[in-house]
Amino acid sequence: MKKEILFIVSDMESGGFQKSLVSLLQCFDYDKYSVDLLILSPQGIFMNQIPCEVNVLKLDVPRKFFSSFPKGVIELIKEKEFVLALKRTFHFCLSRIDKGKAGIYMSKQIPTLSKVYDVAIDYNGQHLLYYMVDKIKAKKKISYFHSDYKKWDYYKNADMIYYDKVDYIVTISEICKNSLDDIFPKYKKKTRVIHNISSPRIIKKLAKEECPIKFDSNYTNIIMVGRPSQVKGYDFAIEACVKLKKMDYKVRFYAIGTSNEVEKYKEMVGKFDVQKEFIFIGETNNPYTYVKNADIYLHPSRFEGKSVAIDEAKILCKPIIISDFSTATDHIKDKINGLIVEMSSKGVYKGLKQMIDNPHLIQELVENLSKETLGNEDEVYKLYQLIEEL
């Protein structure tokens, strides 16, 4: 008899954990497991990549309730869902005071599921963790945390309470595990590392599709994958672009991703007059064809847990530049399969200049990547092991 598994996630928008979940579900054993997926706001570019074997559940709450503030509230008012609009506004105000209490409040607004599961897996953390613990019936409960907790500890007091009630806390790298263990030593025996899954077979297949844009070979084409935000270092990249242009380097940056901050960075690009050099592509469910056809992959984040996008660039053998965020050495061996640069616009500029000026360095990095055994579909067996330990 198949074990009944429930995954819980906030949405399927463009983002690292959403892509990670899709990759995990694409490798799952559906002969052995029956999988339900609860998506609070069932929308986003990864919706159509959910395997057909997965049963996507529907909630009785309008998805706008879980949308970003104030956009979601405006939509709820238009739909005359005044009580929900008021609750969502209260949640926003409470989150300014205590994010943990706000997360618990939000979790209580999500309808309870009547079905009993063998294993429930919250793939987001925070309010979905609280919801899973309080309102889902399951023999075992597993919570994921996808980043360095020391950089994202706003929910610490609430998580301290709720981590006590789960069987396992899964994170995505040894550095992220150490961070959790330092902050929650009481739960050290519960923490496990399961790396984000990257499938070379799927990535290389999608990379062969025709790229929607044609890169100009007279320029060095630099690709970024990540939501336009300060966390992802877009300010560093734009300022580096300006410096390279001033030094007469022929460069073009292409940014894949979207966020509610994108207009801010478009204004920044306009202010520095680099509209032709820094191009916003927006969302796409196939970034791989862009990455394959570009010259350099740039990831100037201020912090990361374990970046799926970097792993995918490695599979496509792109010369990679990343900033020295806390988990950088989990991703790249400096000057062997990529460059790790200072976390600043100056650092990004110097790294790009170094690559552009040294074609032999690019060749060496690509050759080293081509010799690596990349891809880790077998990580799914670590999750199976936790599931089977009933």
Please determine, for residue 179, whether its predicted confidence score (pLDDT) is greater than 80: yes
In a domain, residue 82? The reply is no
In a domain, residue 52? The reply is yes
Average pLDDT, the chain: 94
260-277 average pLDDT score: 96
Task: Write down the H helix ranges in the chain.
Answer: 16-26, 71-78, 82-97, 99-107, 127-135, 156-163, 174-183, 200-207, 234-246, 262-271, 288-293, 308-315, 328-331, 345-357, 359-371, 380-388
Q: Which residue has the tokens 């990455």?
A: 291
121: left (phi over 0), alpha (psi -120 to 50) or beta: beta
Residues 328 and 381 reside in one and the same domain: no
Residues 232 and 357 reside in one and the same domain: yes
Residues 15 and 28 reside in one and the same domain: yes
Q: Which residues pair with 5 in a beta bridge?
A: 35, 119
In a domain, residue 365? The reply is yes
pLDDT digits (tens, 9 = 90+) for 156-178: 999 999 999 999 999 998 989 99
125: domain CATH number is: 3.40.50.2000
**Structure confidence at residue 390 (pLDDT):** 63
Residue type at 320 in one-letter notation? I
pLDDT digits (tens, 9 = 90+) for 36-91: 999 998 988 889 889 999 999 988 887 788 888 888 899 999 999 999 999 999 99
Q: What domain range is 177 assigned to?
A: 3-59+110-197+377-388
Residues 288 and 211 reside in one and the same domain: yes
The 3-state DSSP class for residue 17 equals helix
Residues 189 and 211 reside in one and the same domain: no
Residues 51 and 165 reside in one and the same domain: yes
pLDDT digits (tens, 9 = 90+) for 88-140: 999 999 999 999 999 999 999 999 999 999 999 999 999 999 999 999 999 99
Q: Which residues pair with 35 in a beta bridge?
A: 5
Give the C-alpha separation, 164 to 73, whole Å: 33
Residues 186 and 285 reside in one and the same domain: no
Q: Which residues pair with 105 in a beta bridge?
A: none
pLDDT digits (tens, 9 = 90+) for 294-326: 999 999 999 887 888 999 999 999 999 999 998
Residue type at 388 in one-letter notation? E
In a domain, residue 140? The reply is yes
Residue 292 exposure: Cα atoms within 13 Å on the Cβ side: 18
Answer whether 319's CB lies under 8 Å from 340's CB: no
In a domain, residue 41? The reply is yes
Residues 174 and 302 reside in one and the same domain: no
pLDDT digits (tens, 9 = 90+) for 358-383: 999 999 999 999 999 888 889 999 99
Residue 70: asked if its preceding bond is cis (omega within 30°), the reply is: yes
Residues 205 and 338 reside in one and the same domain: yes
The separation between CA 19 and the C-alpha centre of its own chain, rounded to angstroms, equals 7
> How many structural domains does the chain have?
2
Residues 133 and 211 reside in one and the same domain: no
Q: How far is CA 361 from CA 24, 72, 147, 183, in A?
A: 34, 48, 31, 40
**Structure confidence at residue 370 (pLDDT):** 94
Give the C-alpha separation, 122 to 369, whole Å: 34
Residues 178 and 264 reside in one and the same domain: no
For the beta carbon of residue 39, count every other beta carbon within 10 angstroms. 24
**Residue 251: which pLDDT band, with cuts at 50, 70 and 90?**
very high
Give the C-alpha separation, 348 to 31, whole Å: 47
Residue 87 exposure: Cα atoms within 13 Å on the Cβ side: 19
- Quick check: pTM over 0.75? yes
The 3-state DSSP class for residue 286 equals coil
In a domain, residue 80? The reply is no
Q: Tell which residue, 133, 176, 381, has the closest CA to residue 389.
A: 381
